[in-house]
Amino acid sequence: MNRIIQQKLIESECLSKSIEQWYERIKNLDEHYRVSRREEERLRKRRETELTALRVNVLVNTSRAQ
């Protein structure tokens, strides 16, 4: 089990009473974790793309000025 999910389960205010409740809670936390990781990866790639485009634009503008 993911360490972050374990921590969230331990810190939760209302402890689950049955195995099914534990399972549902873990499943929901895992899904949220996966979604946030995908979003983080998407934003990281976007930033890298923007930085690369900025560098290329600066190089093109510099070469045109000369």
Task: Output the furthest CA–CA distance in the chain (Å, rounded).
Answer: 73
Q: What is the pTM of this model?
A: 0.53
pLDDT single digits (tens) 11-24 = 766 666 788 888 88
5 falls in which pLDDT band (50, 70, 90)?
confident
pLDDT in tens, 39-57: 999 999 998 888 887 777 7
Q: What is the pLDDT of residue 61?
A: 66
The one-letter code for the residue type at 65 is A
pLDDT of 23: 86
Tell me the C-alpha to C-alpha distance, in Å, between residue 18 and each of 23, 25, 38, 48. 9, 11, 31, 45
Instruction: With residue 47 as reference, give the H or E element that holds it.
Output: helix 19-65
